[in-house]
Amino acid sequence: MARPPELETQTLDERAIIRQLQALRNRCAERFPTRGLTQTIGHLLDMAHPASRNATSLRKTHWPLRILSFAAIGTAIAGLMKVAEFYEITLGGQSNATEFTQAVEAALNIILLSGVFIVFFVTLENRFKRTKALNGLYKLRAIAHVIDMHQLTKDPGWVAGNQPTASSPVRDLTDDQLLRYLDYCSEALSLTGKLAALYAQYFPDATVVSAVNDIEELTTNLSRKIWQKIMLLQTVKTGEMQL
């Protein structure tokens, strides 16, 4: 039985990611309207629109750079042909060993420099796209750490002890609120990783894919710490309910 066409290729949909972020921002704003996490998720949503546009633009041909590269390569090849004609005439005449050696050395230097010139312009478009992708990924990495900062002090009250000091963070969330807060942090980290994955999806360059993998590993590890808190809190709540 043939597979449905829509199942043959599964890809991330940037519109679905943005919708998920909008829903998360709204849920967080309704429960925690004055918390910094709401503002951070709103900032992540603001970043999602240009990030998705930048990621999708990477699959398109950058014609100005492509035309510039073709023109530069054509110029280099024409120059090499002129050099070849010149040395064919020069070396075809009467010349001693010293002149011949100097001519060959000069020709090799010109060919080497022309090769470097051609390689530079051949890879120009890819390097431009790679820089564009890495700049976007650096911003996503930074906001992942910001999201993690919001949950650092969000521990169950009984873990911190019953006698807080003057420097202890304020813990004014109920257990149910804390569960929701930590869950929102985890979801925001997951969506940050999905935004990063868009860059690798539309531009599978080795350097970009490696940077995306690093961000996904970062967000996964940060989310794992959050879920340890969630599981700990749920275990305690279950024990209290049984008592």
Whether the CB-CB separation of 190 and 219 falls below 8 Å is answered with yes
Q: Which residues does the chain have with pLDDT short of 70?
A: 1-9, 61-63, 65-66, 68-69, 72, 76-104, 106-111, 113-122, 157-165, 167-168, 236-243
Task: Please identify which residue in the block is written with the tokens 């530079």.
Answer: 120
Tens-digit pLDDT profile for residues 169-178? 777 788 889 9
Tokens of 220: 């996964």
- Are 182 and 151 within 8 A, CB to CB? yes
17-70 confidence digits (pLDDT tens): 999 999 999 999 999 999 999 999 999 999 999 999 999 988 876 667 667 667
Is the distance from CB of 114 to CB of 76 less than 8 angstroms?
yes
CB 137 within 8 A of CB 196: yes
Q: What is the largest CA-CA distance in the chain?
A: 107
Indicate the pTM of the whole model: 0.76
Contact at 8 Å (CB) between 127 and 111?
Answer: no
Task: State how far the alpha carbon of 112 is from the alpha carbons of 76, 83, 89, 181, 193, in Å.
Answer: 11, 13, 21, 60, 43
Type of residue numbered 52: S
pLDDT of residue 101: 67
pLDDT at 1: 41
